[in-house]
Structure 1
Amino acid sequence: MSEAPAIRVLLVEDDEDVRLSTIQVLTLAGFEVEAFASAERARAHISFGVPAIVVCDVRLPGMSGTEWLGELHTADAELPVILVTGHGHIAMAVQAMREGAYDFIEKPFSSERLVAIVRHAIERRQLTLQVRALRDALENWHGIQAVLIGRSAQMQQVRRTVMTLAETSADVLIYGETGTGKELVARCLHEHSERRRQHFVPLNCGGLPEALAESELFGHEAGAFTSANRVRVGKFEYANGGTLFLDEIESMPMAVQIKLLRALQERSIERIGSNKAIPFDCRVVAASKDDLKDMSDRQKFRADLYYRLGVAFIELPPLRERREDIPLLFEHFTLLAAARYERAAPIPSSAQVADLMAYAWPGNVRELRNVADRFVLGLLGERLTQVRGSAEDVPALPRGLPQQVESFERAVIVETLRKHQGDQPATASALAIARQTLHDKLRKLGIAADEFKA
């Protein structure tokens, strides 16, 4: 989140001896303190968003602490108010807790207990004000900034590239790991282009068999094959005038790649079972989680199609490489989830924010959104990233330097194996290490290369 604001303590105590001793305790603990003898004198220092907490005696001359509590929360409902009470007034303090007081402490109190309660209240106030600042930032963002969220240099560059390419009709290739938001970027390209009034047509190429992929892309005539009972309009025709988004294009069958290349070159298609050329006018945006250049070098993807698609590139950074965006994104997803589930948006503790910042996020933004949903529903404990049932259990980054080095080494090797589909010689070459060195590291780190084979 943004830098935590400095929070001062507004102390309201009519007993001068207690007031002076409390000031001394809090000042020695490192807190900035302003003291008042009555609620009336402290009133002028309270407003919405004031960077302060209140420590207030229950019994005061004039307006009591419990009476003032309502006025304070009218000014700012999230202002932490700690009530100080004598032994005979505990029931009154408990009732005040029900009405929104942050905590209460009974006289005579220990310095350690007072400091602990004040410190927790200050942490809560800092987080509240940080979250408000994030909400204001989100509300003040418009257009593409409100969709492709992030203050990092990487996301600023992504937004600039999207806006530049949106003004053209060029086909675009988007690279990014699973969950980085490739379809969201494709939709932004469409929504900020002259084609925005026409269809945005997505097609996931992953797992589509050859026959079905052809029918989906190009359509078919009635009677073209056994189950073709009527004419089907393909995605290219349906996207005419708009944008066709081909996700996971690395999975497209080779035979279909040939026909796709021809369609892109001629800007026309033929339905299955027809010889008639049907022209189309749409922008094609393709997305891949794998390096298509590397795949084409290994003859896993057609090089001519790669060069035809790769007129313009957008590369999306994984979330772990733009950690400064995590609090802003988490706040955004928390607010969306709170509205969807009709619940109040909870505020993460400082430990929870630190947990979010340290986690490796293998599922990227999609995983972060899932955690925000579960957080709003109250399904998570103090450790937000210990999510049961996730596809991949990746712990927070270890603290020690050797452990961090090993964690980084493991991540690099796993990612390279994934890119090369478990091919150990190709992986060793890409990492610029000997094959035996790679073999030793796989054994040491407990990585099974066979798991990455296609």
Structure 2
Amino acid sequence: MTDAPTYAPASGGLVVFVDDDDALRSANAQTLELGGLDVRPLPSAQAALDYVRHGFEGVVVTDIRMPVIDGLQLFRQLRERDPELPVILITGHGDIAMAVDALRQGAYDFIAKPYPAERLLATVRHALEERRLVLENRRLRAAADSADDGLPLIGETPVMQRLRETLRHLANADVDVLIEGETGTGKEVVASALHQWSRRRGHPLVAINCGALPESVVESELFGHEAGAFTGAQRKRVGRIEHANGGTLFLDEIESMPPSLQVRLLRVLEAREISPLGSNETRPVDVRVLAAVKVDLSDPAQRGDFREDLFHRLNVVTVRVPPLRERREDIRLLFAYFLAKAAARFKVPMPDVGDHVHRHLASHHWPGNVRELGHFAERVALGVETPGLGAAAKAAGPGQLSLPQRIERYEAELIREALTAHRGEIRATIEALGIPRKTFYDKLQRHGIERNAFLPDEGK
């Protein structure tokens, strides 16, 4: 047997067309090629079985009546290899009953002879779109399965590879690090990685959000206090800095720290000692400080009342966490990871992801960065980010839909195509479809189609 072929379909998609009749095979191949598809015309079922291997990204169209191995046998053998591979059967009048039975077994569709070229092209294009979504969902699942909880900062873009390499080098250097990044980029994950990959990982990682604590308690939170140090201080309290002794202190949103505390923190950084409230003694602390900021502290305009000397003391090493828009190639990998985590958390099956979700992943700006992407994945896992997907399509995967359900799906596609062609203009769309206005609106509601989605930008 020859080496497995390398599949490189044209932009329109890859189609294997199987027919032992040379003239019909050639004519149909030409029809598909004129429709912008990449066609592999093959003379026998055995040739198709040899060609269609693991990873095949296209669809198979086969005549039923063929010698040695007929189209139904070919379909069943291909189904054993990949139950979700779309197989379209070409039938003569006497083969329709067999084709309907094959539909129940999972065949994608059948086309009865004689058929117009448009019928073949439309069916193949729909099958290719379904195949693309199936394979994309498989890739998402594979990405989710391969993601390692022990390895934070998921991503394969060069900027993320460099970031992980930098953190590995810094982890055991035991220097203070300033972590810069927009909201939601994962600065706390960077801090966690620096701690977990360092010799301090057996000691506490103590995190405090400087912007979330009232000024009245933040000093006590950081430095601790003695009993009676102030009204209500009935017992001694160990502060966060002392609690982090031997480990790592992570100060998030340090730019929000009150100016009065910045002087005391500078002393901690310089002398590595603390003095709790109400105490005259100092206590040494062995602590590594990681500070996160969402502004550029080197810019006086953004630094505001943050002390310049504290900035320079913190700025021994600066690590920048890139926003999601600078690593867009990582979005699907991250989404797959978050989707699997959300499905496990909510105890629901890992959902199939519709085309509208993939389009959103590719086109959205993601101003909230990785945090926003994670929340989006949670909504998809819960089924609240799937407008336009009918209940039948969500309940049944490819090859499991009944003939009426497939007709419904095909009808919805025709309506979407008409809306796209007429840029959402109702009258022109109705005329093209040849249906009454009330029927048109009923079908929009039944299929979950939003007409506004097809309007040009200036009309939305």
Report the TM-score range of the alignment, normalised by the length of the smaller protein: 0.7 to 0.9
Map of 1:419 onto structure 2 = none
* 1:373 is aligned to 2:374: no
| Cα shift readout 1:369-402 (whole Å, capped 9, x = no counterpart) | 2222222333224699xxxxxxxxxxxxxxxxxx
* 1:191 is aligned to 2:167: no
Q: Note the C-alpha offset of 1:229.
A: 3.3
TM superposition score normalised by structure 1: 0.73
Map of 2:40 onto structure 1 = 34
- Find the aligned partners of 1:347 and 1:202 in 2 and give their Cα distance: 36
- Find the aligned partners of 1:339 and 1:86 in 2 and give their Cα distance: 48
Map of 1:362 onto structure 2 = 367
SS in 2 for 1:78: coil
Match of 1:277 among 263, 282, 295: 282
| Cα shift readout 1:396-453 (whole Å, capped 9, x = no counterpart) | xxxxxxxxxxxxxxxxxxxxxxxxxxxxxxxxxxxxxxxxxxxxxxxxxxxxxxxxxx
| Cα shift readout 1:94-126 (whole Å, capped 9, x = no counterpart) | 554454433443443321232233233334444
Contact 2:296 2:302 in 1 (8 A): no
* 1:303 is aligned to 2:273: no
SS in 2 for 1:196: helix
Matched residue type, 1:310: N
Q: Note the C-alpha offset of 1:192.
A: 1.1
Contact 2:137 2:352 in 1 (8 A): no
Q: Pick closer, same or farther for the CA change 1:97–1:167 going to 2, 3 Å.
A: farther
* 1:262 is aligned to 2:267: yes
| Cα shift readout 1:223-280 (whole Å, capped 9, x = no counterpart) | 3333333332221122121111111111111112222111222211122222232221
| Cα shift readout 1:340-381 (whole Å, capped 9, x = no counterpart) | 4431342443x6434422221111111112222222333224
Contact 2:86 2:127 in 1 (8 A): yes
Q: Note the C-alpha offset of 1:335.
A: 3.3
Matched residue type, 2:186: G
For structure 1, list consecutive stretches of 5 or more residues without a partner in the other structure: 385-454
Q: Note the C-alpha offset of 1:179.
A: 0.7
Map of 1:211 onto structure 2 = 216
Match of 1:230 among 221, 229, 235: 235
TM superposition score normalised by structure 2: 0.72
Q: Pick closer, same or farther for the CA change 1:239–1:95 going to 2, 3 Å.
A: farther
Match of 2:52 among 40, 46, 52: 46
Greater shift, 274-283 or 73-82, is seen at: 73-82
- Find the aligned partners of 1:63 and 1:297 in 2 and give their Cα distance: 73
Superposed CA RMSD in Å reads: 3.2
Could you tell me the percent identity over the aligned residues? 51
Map of 2:28 onto structure 1 = 22
- Find the aligned partners of 1:298 and 1:8 in 2 and give their Cα distance: 56
- Find the aligned partners of 1:141 and 1:377 in 2 and give their Cα distance: 21
SS in 1 for 2:230: coil
- Find the aligned partners of 2:138 and 2:163 in 1 and give their Cα distance: 26
Q: Note the C-alpha offset of 1:309.
A: 1.1
SS in 2 for 1:293: coil
SS in 2 for 1:222: coil
Count of matched residue positions in the alignment of Structure 1 and Structure 2: 379
Match of 1:243 among 231, 248, 256: 248
* 1:161 is aligned to 2:162: no
* 1:172 is aligned to 2:177: yes
Contact 2:348 2:381 in 1 (8 A): no
SS in 1 for 2:377: helix
Contact 2:354 2:386 in 1 (8 A): no
| Cα shift readout 1:35-79 (whole Å, capped 9, x = no counterpart) | 445544532233321233211345655666455444323312332
SS in 2 for 1:201: strand
- Find the aligned partners of 1:118 and 1:46 in 2 and give their Cα distance: 17
- Find the aligned partners of 1:115 and 1:269 in 2 and give their Cα distance: 76
Matched residue type, 1:281: D
- Find the aligned partners of 2:280 and 2:106 in 1 and give their Cα distance: 75
- Find the aligned partners of 1:278 and 1:121 in 2 and give their Cα distance: 71
Map of 1:77 onto structure 2 = 83
Map of 1:402 onto structure 2 = none
Greater shift, 195-204 or 103-112, is seen at: 103-112
Q: Pick closer, same or farther for the CA change 1:5–1:36 going to 2, 3 Å.
A: closer
Q: Pick closer, same or farther for the CA change 1:261–1:14 going to 2, 3 Å.
A: same
SS in 2 for 1:286: strand
